[in-house]
Structure 1
Amino acid sequence: MSKTQFARYNIGQVIRHRLYAMRGVIFDVDTSFAGTDDEPRTSGAATGLVYRLFAEDDEVPYVASIAERDLEPDESGEPVRHPGIGAMFEIGEAGRYRRRRLSMN
């Protein structure tokens, strides 16, 4: 039986990598790396939740998949500059990113 995992971070939250000069906005959480009690992921692959994010570093914007254990909240209040953000998010109060509402027509 698989364990229920709760995401530490939220869609639209700005985070940064614990070790590298990278920050981004989360747009998806991937649980396929979580493994199960019967088949835990013990190889070199990431275990636990993996977050997909619109990321930026000092050079270029890109899309990244980062393990939860390698992330921490970004409290700088600085906007993330990635061309993909505008299609999925709008900027709300206090610089937070909110998913855009999709029109049904």
Structure 2
Amino acid sequence: MTKTRFARYNIGQVIRHRLYAMRGVIFDVDESFAGTDGEPVPDGSATGLIYRLFAEDGEIPYVACIAERDLEPDDSGEPVSHPGIGAMFEVEETGGYRRRRQALN
């Protein structure tokens, strides 16, 4: 029997890395991550989920896969500048991100 895990953060939520100057918008959550050789990598040393996000670090936008334990909410209210956001999310009046009902191609 597998243990049910509950995500601490939500799709569309803006988060930041606990240690590094990186922030982003979550677009996927998973229990494992396929590393560069295609083999699954343990889910953050068996302590949490892996979040995929449209990220920025002040230099370039990129997609990041980060363990839940390394993330915290970003309450700055600043928008995230990543070209992938518009295809998957609509920006709400409050500045939050809501998943589009239909993806843009």
TM-score by length of 2: 0.83
| Contiguous gaps of at least 5 residues in structure 2 | 34-40
Query: Which stretches in structure 1 are left out of the alignment for 5+ residues?
Result: 34-42
Q: What amino acid is aligned across from residue 87 of structure 1 in structure 2?
A: A
**Aligned CA distance change for structure 1 residues 77 and 5 (closer, same or farther; 3 Å):** same
Distance 1:23 1:3 in 2: 29
For the pair shown, the structure with the greater C-alpha radius of gyration is 1
Q: How do residues 94-105 of structure 1 correspond to structure 2 at under 5 angstroms?
A: 94-102=94-102
Q: Taking structure 1 as the reference length, what is the TM-score of the superposition?
A: 0.83
Shift >6 Å, 4+ stretches: none
Residues 51, 44 of structure 1: CA spacing in aligned structure 2 closer, same or farther, 3 A cutoff? closer
Percent of aligned pairs sharing the same letter: 79
Deviation at 1:32, TM superposition (A): 2.8
Q: Aligned to 2:87, what secondary structure does the other structure show?
A: helix
Q: Secondary structure at the match of 1:93?
A: coil
Partner secondary structure for residue 86 of structure 1: helix
**Number of matched residues?**
94
Matched, 1:65 2:65: yes
CA distance in 2, matches of 1:44, 1:65: 12
CA contact (8 A) 2:43 2:50 kept: no
